[in-house]
Structure 1
Amino acid sequence: MKDFFTLDKQLCFAVYETAGEFTKLYTSALQPFGLTYPQYLVLLALWEKDGVTAKELGERLNLGTGTLTPMTSRMISNGWLRKERSKEDERKVYIFLEEKARKEKEVITQNVGEAIQACSIELEEYKELMELLGKLRFKLRSRVPR
């Protein structure tokens, strides 16, 4: 049992290290577009469903307004997004893709896809990893607080 509490045996550390490697991989793939990994996640969410409220986008990405607002502001100033305040409820701000984001989607996703393929992750392995991570995420979210 004593060996279980070494750094190399900690699942949290393995996930942390893996997340760091993914960040490096995506940083390299996204650098030509001047995008960060979190900005890419914003684009992915909006490519799925454009014109969502800032609150909905934050919930989708699990990001608070303190992180999301400055990030989307930078993306607006770089021509990726635009914001529109609701005419019915001024408290709501909608976020939309700009033409640049729609136009660059194919080449961005191709760059990311090539970076992932360079890691030699087979399709079945990818599916298995996604399933296992989904189960782990569910268990972590549904734990009983102490």
Structure 2
Amino acid sequence: MSDTPSPSVELDDQLCFALYAASRAVTARYRPMLDRMGLTYPQYLVMMLLWETDGQTVGQLGSRLALDSGTLSPLLKRLTTAGLVTRHRRVDDERSVSIQLTAEGKALQSQALQVSDEMIGALGLTIAEFDHLKAELRTLTDRVAADGNTAPA
């Protein structure tokens, strides 16, 4: 007897559907909080990376978020138009564009802490469950990415 799941075409047996449904539910839960901040979920992810380390390049952001420049560039343009970031060609490499938070962009970080706190509460997980779930999802991402042509998230 095998220790792996049996092949199936039933929707409820599919891990991909469970991940898809969970992702949609979590993103939907974020939406009203991010609307108050004036951000979409992908913009929020970019802002989180910039709050971690300001001045990252478009390439660094794209790599971390597994987004290509065709997806990331319009997103960054909207953040620039909103006055949350500035974009500058790097002096040491003119092909590279550095993204900097504005004062308004930095100020949103305190609201992001409230969003994080609310989401943690909504999940209702213990610290151990929270850490375990993140670790399992990262392992899943790494295994799928290593076996296919997708970039790890």
Letter in 2 for 1:57: L
**Is the Cα contact below 8 Å between 1:29 and 1:115 reproduced in 2?**
no
Q: Which runs of 5+ in 1 are unaligned?
A: none
Alignment-derived partner of residue 80 in structure 1: 84
Aligned residues: 144
Residue 52 (1) aligns with residue 56 (2) = yes
* Structure 1 residues 25 and 116, CA gap change in structure 2 (3 angstroms): farther
Q: Does 1:133 align with 2:137?
A: yes
Q: Does 1:101 align with 2:105?
A: yes
Which residue of structure 2 aligns with residue 25 of structure 1?
29
Task: Tell me how far apart the structure 1 counterparts of residues 114 and 68 of structure 2 sit (CA, whole Å).
Answer: 29
> How many percent identity over aligned positions?
36
Q: Tell which deviates more after alignment, 136-145 or 68-77.
A: 136-145
Runs of 4+ in structure 1 off by over 4 angstroms are none
Match of 2:3 in 1: none
| Contact kept? 1:79, 1:100, Cα under 8 Å | yes
- Matched AA of 1:125: E
Superposed CA deviations along residues 68-111 of structure 1, whole A, max 9, x for unmatched, are: 00000000010110001122332111101111121120122212
Deviation larger for 73-82 or 113-122: 113-122
Counterparts of 1:115 and 1:66, CA distance in 2: 30
TM-score by length of 2: 0.87
CA distance in 2, matches of 1:34, 1:68: 17
TM-score (normalizing by structure 1) = 0.91
Q: Is the 8 A contact 1:29 1:112 kept in 2?
A: no
- C-alpha separation in 2, matches of 1:144 and 1:41: 24
- 2:9 alignment counterpart: 5
**What runs of 5+ residues in structure 2 fail to find an aligned partner?**
1-5
Q: Which residue does the alignment assign to 2:38?
A: 34
Cα deviation digits, residues 25-48 of structure 1 (max 9, x gap):
111221101101100100111111
Residue 66 of structure 2 corresponds to residue 62 of structure 1:
yes
